[in-house]
Chains A and B, each alone.
Chain A
Amino acid sequence: MSAGVSLLKRAAVETNTLVQRLDGRVKFLFFIWATLLAYIFYDPVLNLIIIGFTLALAAYAKVLKPIALTLAIIIVPWILFAVPILSLPLGFPWNKTVIGYIEIFGRKYPVYLEGLGWGFTWPLRIAVSISTALLFFLTTNQAKLAATLVKMRLPFKAIYVVIAALQFIPLLAREAEVITQAQRARGLRTDVGILQRVRNYLAVVIPLTLTSLNKVQIRAIALESRGFSAPVRKTLVYETSFTRLDYVFLAGMAVATAFLAWVYVTYGYSPISHLPWVWAG
């Protein structure tokens, strides 16, 4: 969760690179496309290739650090837990193929391909999804994001709810910090027992909730005064449209899709690693 804290507090990085200039819909499509590919194939090496490409785009767009940090916090520990638990003889039901032995405290244990494959592939699938999603989120500012959602023909109220949630998160996170500091100044400690920690949680959460509910009414009045419920066509600050750059990127994705479809038909779902089938693999 702590990786997410810093991420959702962060606004989109405003630099003038090709990635920032891409239409939000194209970046969102890339995110969906890459995630689907990671799930259609069951191959950690292919996932690593997609992650590598996404991180290269992120480095170019100057958003590499937050994405790499998130992957390091969420994906690396997951692999470190999943690989030994699933690939050693601890009962993972699809383990069959022994690929080697590992010595732990003087005893030899078999290492299974099925568990090893699962332990790497699933976290890397999520890594593909996280990295491409963050590339979209961190290179598209909120006004353009709203325009993108309108172009996707989402209902206006649904768009407001999504954009408002993204705006509220950093605001409430800042208020929570202020309340926590105030409570610490009054003697709130974190090195206490479990029950006291829950009480501490209440000490922060109750004032936070009450202040945010007070603001709900103010926001509702502000929305009404701007004709939120009025049955008229809403206008946008930004208008988005596809440029030649967007068409080139989409063409690249179409070519890659055709190539990967041929790979799937010819070599199957695990073309590089040749992993055996497991449930939900």
Chain B
Amino acid sequence: MTQHDLSYWEHLAERYFQAETTDEEESLLRAFLCSKEAQDPRFDEVRATVAYLHVSRQSLTPHASPGRREAGGLLLAIAASLCLAFFLGWYQYRQHNISRVRVAGENVEADASLLMQRQMAEMFNPTDPADR
């Protein structure tokens, strides 16, 4: 890079501080500041400023503002509550209408209502002599 080039970058840095540079020029300036030729003390100030802004943007961009974080949390809470309500509704409905017969721990196809009636009848009108 020539001395003229360095003058150009110096001028660009000056314009950068005056906020007169375009986005494209700022990108070029950032690239130049990383180069070997830019390790001149004349560019220390602009390098520090550009680096600071770059790091600041990077550290701030991924994190939402506290207000946004709160709104996100609220949305998450609402979504979780809806899921919970849906699950509980489904669970209650399932329990309410449950009809299950298990033999030796395995579910079997059988009429649970009929079995209940038989067992109740057996309870109150035993056919076998009681043993108790």
Q: Do they bind each other?
A: no
